[in-house]
Structure 1
Amino acid sequence: MDQSLSSYKTFYTVASTGNISKAAKELYISQPAISKSIRKLEDSLGVVLFNRSSRGVTLTEEGQLLYQHVRSAFDTLSDAEDQLKLAGTLGIGQLRIGVSTTLCKYVLLPYLQQFILLYPHIKISITCQSTNQTLRLLEENRIDVGLIGKPDNIKPLHFYPIGEIEDIFVATASYMDNLKLRSGNSGPNILEAATFMLLDKENMTRQYIDDYLLENKIQVHNLLEVTTLDLLIEFAKIGLGIACVIREFVHPELEAKKLIQIPLGIPIHKREIGFAYMKNRHCSQSMEHFIHYYQSPDSSCFSISE
């Protein structure tokens, strides 16, 4: 575009009013300034845009053609301004969240339930991936915020902890009884005959548990890899093996004795979970609303049942 937007605004106003004097009042500039702007635009385009007379100005054929396009452009800009004002008034926006399937079900959903009541016009999209994949999506700006386990490197992130989780091993009482019969003892070596059920290697929890098993010299001979915590819990409940799960998410099963915790001598350290977003990214209004919401004491949706 060879001319500035102000030149077309001047042309548009003169064409709409049909009078340079009226256009000058509307634009708060002098009549000579308007005449100069119009002449400059005509010289640049190589056409005459207005027929001048003592009663005002009228558009030439070329002026009519330009006016149709300029009017359409300014109508579009006006619509955009109206949409922005409406978005500001109603809080319309978009929020992209990344989270693992487990944390989505047990932690994120209660947060969203209350957040949606406060901001019903924010469109929310959720990408369920592992914590490692969520971190990659944050780096690539494909999501705005992630609900993750605290990573080792948080320098590029704003990380706001909302609670702790504890990994434990569980099984049914009948599975452990049968395991003792098969192995012929109840000592520590009994676990070598067990089927261990863990999340797949893409999951940060699995990497954390692998380090724990290696550090404590716990041998795993029979391994079943599962993609979600819900499946681990269900497989453990039918007596398929010993599953590594998160204590806070199997509290009802432990209370009802559908599952029992397997003592391993050395407990697994608790891990922090929280919301994270990149430090070097601009936060949209929707994101600012969400940050303010989850940092508010009233939004403490994640709690550990005892």
Structure 2
Amino acid sequence: MESNLAQYRIFYAVAQEGNISRAAASLYISQPAISKSIQKLEESLGTPLFSRSSRGVRLTEEGALLFQHVKIAFDSLKAGEEQLRQMTELGIGHLRIGVSTTLCKYVLLPYLKKFIELYPHIRISIECQSTSHTLQLLQERRIDIGFIGRPSSMGNITFHSLGEIEDIFVASKSYMDNLSLSSSTADIFHAATLMLLDKENITRRYIDDYLKEHHIDPGNLLEISTMDLLIEFAKIGLGIACVIRQFVQEELDRGILHEIPLGFPIHAREIGLAFPSSSSQSQALKTFTDFFR
């Protein structure tokens, strides 16, 4: 495009007004400057754009063709400006969140309802996958923020803690009563069916390290894809499940599940918000992080 945007802006105004003096008044530009700009645009395009008369100016056939495209361009710019205004003044934006199924249900959802009520103009997309995948999407800038457990290596990820979670082992009373066990932790896990999340989950890696550190070798291992299924399988007496205390507190209080005592407690872990350190935050992301903090 050889001509500059200012020339097309003047062309657009003259075409709309059908009069150079009115276009000059609307743009706060002198009439000679308007005429000179139109002349330069016609010269650069090699064709007359207006026919002139004592009553004003009219678009030529070539001018009318150009006006169709220029109008689309300026309408698009106007729409873009309006969207930016809404983003800054009304909080309109798009937020892409990555979160595991477990943290989505037990951590994100309780907050999300209130957030949407307060900021209905922010569009939200949620991708549920493992923490490892969430970190990868953050690195690739395919999501804006992630709900994760604090990873051992942060890289260029900024992490804001939302608190701690504690892993425990639980089983139903009927399952424990049906086992003939000694009181040692090693004997319990060797005789029981131990139910853990699959190996793609960071929680599973954390528990594997715990079992290895304390020389606990499960006799029978059942891998489950989600925390919800772990909890449900434990409730119906399929085995001992490694779950997060905060997510089964009601079942513990009601006696539906019972905590397995451990000689060496599992250290609590942090969960929180993660986003790329080097990227600038959109208004929607700032609003969201401020709300959760």
- What is the TM-score of this pair, normalised by structure 2? 0.93
* Structure 1: distance between partners of 2:18 and 2:173: 90
**In structure 2, which of residues 240, 261, 264 is the aligned counterpart of residue 242 of structure 1?**
240
Deviation at 1:88, TM superposition (A): 4.2
Which residue is 2:33 aligned to?
A: 33
Which residue is 2:57 aligned to?
A: 57
Deviation at 1:186, TM superposition (A): 4.2
Cα shift readout 1:145-188 (whole Å, capped 9, x = no counterpart): 111101112241221111100001111223223221xx6x4444
Which residue is 2:168 aligned to?
A: 168
Which residue is 2:74 aligned to?
A: 74
Deviation at 1:274, TM superposition (A): 0.6
Give the gaps of 5 or more residues in structure 1: 296-306
* Structure 2: distance between partners of 1:242 and 1:228: 15
Give yes or no for contact 2:100–2:148 (8 Å, CA) kept in 1: yes
Percent identity reads 63
Deviation at 1:268, TM superposition (A): 0.5
* Structure 1: distance between partners of 2:279 and 2:291: 19
Which residue is 1:302 aligned to?
A: none
Give the gaps of 5 or more residues in structure 2: none
Please say if 1:258 is aligned against 2:256.
yes
Deviation at 1:96, TM superposition (A): 1.2
Q: Letter of the 2:16 partner, please give it.
A: S
Which range moved further: 194-203 or 81-90?
81-90
Which residue is 2:211 aligned to?
A: 213
Show the 5 A alignment for 1:1-306.
Answer: 1-180=1-180, 185-187=182-184, 188-295=186-293
Which residue is 1:298 aligned to?
A: none
RMSD across aligned C-alpha pairs, in angstroms? 1.7
Which residue is 1:299 aligned to?
A: none
- Report the 3-state secondary structure (helix = DSSP H, G, I; strand = E; otherwise coil) of the residue aligned with 2:215: coil
* Structure 2: distance between partners of 1:15 and 1:124: 41
* Structure 2: distance between partners of 1:264 and 1:256: 21
Give yes or no for contact 2:156–2:276 (8 Å, CA) kept in 1: yes
Cα shift readout 1:86-114 (whole Å, capped 9, x = no counterpart): 45443222111111111111111111121
